[in-house]
Structure formats: structure tokens, C-alpha cells
Amino acid sequence: MFTKQGSTARVLLVNDDSFELATMAASLRLHSVNVVGEAPNKFIAENLFLSLSPEAVLIDLQFSGEAAIGLLQKMRKVNPAVGIVITTSCPDLRLFGLLERNIPAGTKIILKRSISDLSVVTGALAQSLISAQDGSKMNWINLHTSIQKESFISVLNDLTDIQIETLRLVAQGLSNSEIAKVRFVSEKSVEQIVARIAHHLSISPDRRRNLRVALAGEYFKWLGAPRH
């Protein structure tokens, strides 16, 4: 249980996975967390936020990363003191096209694989109420050393912002010429970046498989397996 000014803080849950949403809501209530609303999409979340005035928001960040952050930014404009906790299966938010400056100040981010028990979530919610008011930077919490050392995270850390963005565009199905237009660079430059990404990911040239399909597969693996 966590409190704000002596009373149990009101929490809004946002998650587009109905099973996860129901499970998290039930579990938090069993731990005396005052869950006042459950939203399966951003439209319902925005309406519930305005009508219920929660003091903290626990939101799952999956495939609609930019839309979710846009929602959180709107919420902060309405209530600058609202605590924000993000859960995600993705260890690098750049894969969503997000940089640290995009994330509201004081946000706590939890990698799902690092959640050993519900106290990690309740602790993050409590911390978020304080961080929202002191203007501290967003930060990841409870990332176990064993997870940080996993090879796939190390590979992601080695990729530059430009390489990550190019990988995102490849996964979205854009051709090299289309990526070149989006990024205002030459098609040759894109080809070189794609080749470097493939090298970093240890994807060797193979006539039996399409390189772009292989890159897209790696991207979605890190983003989190599709749930629908």
C-alpha cells in the first residue's frame, strides 16, 4: 500500500492486454492499492483520467509507444503532480522511437522481466508520486544485474540512435529509398547503415532468407512478442 498526504493514492491502470489488465488490477487491490479505473486503450484512459482524477498512472508500453507517451504528456498537463509508472517488455525505448526527453519527468520504468514480486510495482508507484513533484529525470528501476548482462541488451546498447531508427523503419516495411527520403540522406548511406546493423546483430548474408525480414524479426523480438 502507498499513500499520498495520509490517504491511499488513487491509481489508474492502462493496458491494451485485457488479461494483463485484469490480473494486475486484481493483484494490486489484494495489496491494498486503490485502483480506481482500468483502461484498455488510450481513449478510455483519457476519459477516466479526467473523470476519476487519479494521483498515479500505471501504463503498459507495448506497440503503441508514441501514442502512450502522448497520452502521458496530456495527463501531466492536466495534473503536473500525477505519478507515472511504465511497464514494458522492451529494454530500450529507442525501439519505440522514444528518447529520454520524450518521457515525462519523474517517470519510473520497469522492465517486466525484472519484476520479482508486486512490491516492485507498488514501490515504483510510491516513488513516482515524489519524483513527479521534484522534477527528477525518468529512470529504470529494479534492473537486475543478470538481466543487464544478457547479450541481447548489450547488442542494443551498441547500436547508435541512427541505427535504431533505421531498424525501426526497416521493420515498418520501408525500402532503402523510402528511408533515405524520411531521413534526408542518400540511399547509399542507408544501405551502409543497414549492413552495419546486420553485422551488429550477427545476421550473415544468406540467399535462403530475406535480410530485411530477418532484421524485422530481430526488431519485433526485442520489442516484445505480439500478443494479439
Q: Is the pLDDT of residue 149 over 90?
A: no
Q: Which residue has the higher pLDDT, 106 or 5?
A: 106
Q: What percent of the chain has pLDDT over 70?
A: 88
pLDDT of residue 132: 84
Q: Is the pLDDT of residue 223 over 90?
A: no
CB 131 within 8 A of CB 105: yes
Please compute the mean of the pLDDT values over residues 77-92 and round it to a whole number: 93
Do residues 138 and 155 both lie within one domain? Answer: no
Task: Report DSSP state, residue 142.
Answer: -
Q: Is the pLDDT of residue 175 over 50?
A: yes
pLDDT of residue 148: 45
CB 99 within 8 A of CB 92: no
CB 120 within 8 A of CB 91: no
pLDDT of residue 194: 95
Do residues 93 and 201 both lie within one domain? Answer: no
Query: Which residue type is seen at 203?
Result: I
Domains in the chain: how many in total?
2
Do residues 133 and 170 both lie within one domain? Answer: no
Do residues 85 and 123 both lie within one domain? Answer: yes
pLDDT of residue 184: 93
Do residues 18 and 122 both lie within one domain? Answer: yes
Do residues 17 and 125 both lie within one domain? Answer: yes
**Residue 136 falls inside a structural domain:** yes
pLDDT of residue 109: 93
Using the structure block, give the residue that is written with the C-alpha cell 545476421. 203
pTM of the model: 0.82
Do residues 103 and 189 both lie within one domain? Answer: no
**Residue 228 falls inside a structural domain:** no
* Geometric angle at alpha carbon 201, from 197 and 204, rounded to 5°: 90
Which residue range forms the structural domain that includes residue 186? Answer: 151-223
In angstroms, the CA 213 to CA 173 distance is 9
Do residues 14 and 127 both lie within one domain? Answer: yes
Do residues 139 and 51 both lie within one domain? Answer: yes
